[in-house]
Structure 1
Amino acid sequence: MPSPESAPQPKQLLHLVMGGRVKDPRSLEFQDPHSVHVVGVYPSYGEAEDAWRTQAQRTVDDAEMKYVIVHLHKLLDPEAEGK
């Protein structure tokens, strides 16, 4: 029986959670890119979604505040998407 250390690890898929005040609630153009709040980088979509949900719920009454999840793994290795 293989040990837990030798078990194959799932591929790391980095995700960035960030947000800030947008010019128009229907867009992703930030009013001041220098003040974008970087929540963090997460190793899975599930963890990123939890962080995004926490931030989005804190600002739910402010239509100009928007938080997003950026799929860093797609930017770092765009050719891996089709594999």
Structure 2
Amino acid sequence: MSDTTSGKQLLHFVFGGELEKLGSNRFRDLDKLDIVGVFPDYSSALTAWRAKAQATVDNAHMRYFIVHMHRLLEPGAVEVPADAARGG
């Protein structure tokens, strides 16, 4: 379970599937979407996205996406980059 006491969670959703044609965002079969998961930060979502994208590199129609759920849940919130929060 993720630690929620150390601050806000910036939830990210990773999913993918086979597209009908290259250059589109329309999926061939919604029943076959690959729901990778929900992650507590962008870094862990990117790691999961990269693993799935690299595993399906031989299928040009397969695409994975990262959805910034925190932006949908709190559209007016201002994001502070992780390195800025640490003073870097």
TM-score over 0.5 for the pair: yes
Aligned to 1:4: none
Aligned to 2:31: 34
Aligned to 2:75: 78
Question: Any runs of at least 4 consecutive aligned residues in structure 1 with deviations exceeding 4 A, and if so which?
Answer: none
CA separation of 1:52/1:82 partners in 2, compared to 1, >3 Å: closer, same or farther?
Answer: closer
Counterpart contact for 1:74–1:80, Cα < 8 Å: yes
Larger Rg belongs to: 1
Aligned residues: 76
Aligned to 1:19: 16
Residue ranges of structure 1 left out of the alignment (5+ in a row): 1-7
Residue ranges of structure 2 left out of the alignment (5+ in a row): 81-88
Identity value in percent = 47
Instruction: Identify the range of structure 1 (44-53 vs 25-34) with the bigger mean alpha-carbon deviation.
Output: 25-34
> CA RMSD, aligned part only?
1.8
